[in-house]
Structure 1
């Protein structure tokens, strides 16, 4: 969903296992303080991996990376990728606010968002990145690079500098969850893709949740930007408003809302808890728009990826016959597992025999 409002690795052999799931699509909503044009576009996209119905991200002009490229160009930077097609941004606008609602995909908005502020202002859908997961997509939004370029290709990643499989965003080793600094590794050694903010010709401000505002990940990826923390929806609105109104210079404000994603992981995206969280961020979006009226601000709201619920009986557990072939614990995500193995051909054969039509082995 995209709404706009105007006012790696060690060198070990690896196989990948892709679960059968619906491709992730996000949408975009737009608001402008003077008017709002509604534009409908076709989804497009190219399907790959026929067993699982996966969709290739449209990096040529229809994905999250292209939205970031459009914003970067409008704020005076040289983008690494093509701009978002059919979504012009007036470079003369004083402020641009990018509101990322983690996990709030376009399918959810279509199913559950009737009458919402976000649905009313929906402009178009986008593809996410591959893999369509927080670690990869949020890093794309911070850098303007695809996951292949920035290297964070899943929640769990093998970092050669640390010598272990690690949770990429928390900067902790898998298993004991100790900070990687206890292994003598600094965040700059892991997160080595330049952040977007220093390249912009405007003042940059990041508004994010207090529990992560000073994380190792954010300190590196928010270089070149001021960081403001919030505890709840009221503070989120207040801090974003303050960021926009703090000075007359041109600005880029990056506002991040992680809670819908966290609740959907915990309770499921079709749960009452997720519906309540959607109602809260939708109301906050509407209140923010009202507070920014007359400030020459373009507000762009989007997800980084979407969600589907998977029943417990559809989850796959690695069989004992495959475990001895692994060099490290599984990397990536439950739906896209990266396997660092001793014998790639043997592992791929055993995995394909076990999985059958339930997943792709590459």
Structure 2
């Protein structure tokens, strides 16, 4: 069953002039971690509405969450019929749309899914973020400078705690304290990153080389579990091909077929029936994609006078926009916020928020801001309606984009089913 009525309701209640805002208090990706913990009777802060489990028996010892980065709800509804795994999952289980966090970016949302905290709490607000302590813009998840230098190797004493504010316990540590064995299955190349080490603390982390290997690792984890288990598997492949080729390309279709096919063959078909009977499978995503046109995407470099309004670093140079091309965040000179806003709105089709406005409407979350968030929060946010707006450094060649507030980016699926029902 696919709950398209929930999507209609979210669009009705949380849209404004075509921009869709997060439903932090209800159907929001930020509430997925505590929802999973609630299945094991662990203490929680806020869970998804019970509607997401309509028609599903949730009394399972094992829960597997497969996160397909960038595979939004609108992509699911458009393409479900093309892929047997998705079609069967929708018919045998329940698929509910959620809103993403803001920003609808991997760096923010993936930090949320492992820490159980909103962006306003963990403070990791985009792929690019300015760190005043280093007077540099960093690529957050790679934890590198714009020149490609790995931060821990070039700045003594800095580790993942510099990137974001981690809670007292990660989701995996909370699961462990509830008597549940936590596991993470993720690409080998990022499994030992500083971000992963901090965000995945408490979990047994296994790195995979290819998608078949991923499926085998999930299956092995399930079948060797002694007692209750929670397994989180992260798949970045659809997001990567969407950026390069868009979500309506042959390359995209081939990749979705490959991802869903490996889940079907390596997990669904080959896991022991007795294990499948006692396993709940969740397939979700952190955000969707909006296809943009590289020919009409806009270079910030071409907006005359933009740098005049930007705050300066110690070297006297303006601090460039951070976040991403769909989630523009500006650190602004004192007294220049309104002037910059006027300039951006005159040159671009964007929705803007100063700090007071985005705080009042809980754009980054509706909880108490952390000190890390306060230290790195922008003075002005600009969200383009339907274009990618960034510096002319190669990013503008992307087709699939995300980070903003379009329904395509903001709606993501939460599909749940007993694994045995798929066999």
Q: Give the TM-score normalised by the residue count of structure 1.
A: 0.83
Unaligned segments of structure 2, at least 5 residues? 312-318, 354-423
Deviation >6 Å, runs of 4+? none
- What are the residue-to-residue correspondences of 1:21-100 with 2, within 5 Å? 38=1, 40-42=3-5, 43=7, 44-45=9-10, 46-50=13-17, 53-88=18-53, 92-100=59-67
- What are the residue-to-residue correspondences of 1:150-169 with 2, within 5 Å? 150-169=122-141
C-alpha distance in 2, partners of 1:49/1:41?
19
Shift of 1:187: 1.5
Q: Give the TM-score normalised by the residue count of structure 2.
A: 0.72
Structure 1 residues 203 and 128, CA gap change in structure 2 (3 angstroms): same
| 1:333 matches 2:321 | no
Question: 1:97–1:252: 8 Å Cα contact kept in structure 2?
Answer: yes
**What is aligned with 1:118?**
86
Q: 2:228 aligns with which of 236, 250, 257?
A: 250
Q: 2:149 aligns with which of 178, 188, 191?
A: 178
Query: What secondary structure, in the 3-state scheme, does the structure 2 residue paired with 1:158 have?
Result: strand
Question: 2:124–2:163: 8 Å Cα contact kept in structure 1?
Answer: no
Structure 1 residues 279 and 305, CA gap change in structure 2 (3 angstroms): same
**What is aligned with 2:344?**
351
Shift of 1:48: 4.2
Unaligned segments of structure 1, at least 5 residues? 1-37
Shift of 1:39: 5.2
Structure 1 residues 40 and 325, CA gap change in structure 2 (3 angstroms): closer
**What is aligned with 2:209?**
231
Shift of 1:207: 0.3
Query: What secondary structure, in the 3-state scheme, does the structure 2 residue paired with 1:112 have?
Result: helix
Question: 1:130–1:147: 8 Å Cα contact kept in structure 2?
Answer: yes
Query: What secondary structure, in the 3-state scheme, does the structure 1 residue paired with 2:344 have?
Result: helix
Question: 1:162–1:180: 8 Å Cα contact kept in structure 2?
Answer: no
Higher mean C-alpha displacement, 97-106 vs 183-192? 183-192
| 1:108 matches 2:108 | no
Shift of 1:241: 0.7
* Matched length: 320
| 1:315 matches 2:297 | yes
C-alpha distance in 1, partners of 2:102/2:244?
23
Question: Cα deviation per residue 1:306-360 (whole Å; 9 max; x = unaligned)?
Answer: 01210023312221311232231111110110011112222222222222xx112
Shift of 1:115: 4.2
Greater per-residue helix proportion: 2
Shift of 1:90: 5.7
Q: 2:117 aligns with which of 139, 145, 148?
A: 145
**CA RMSD across the alignment:** 1.8
| 1:240 matches 2:240 | no
Higher mean C-alpha displacement, 331-340 vs 160-169? 160-169
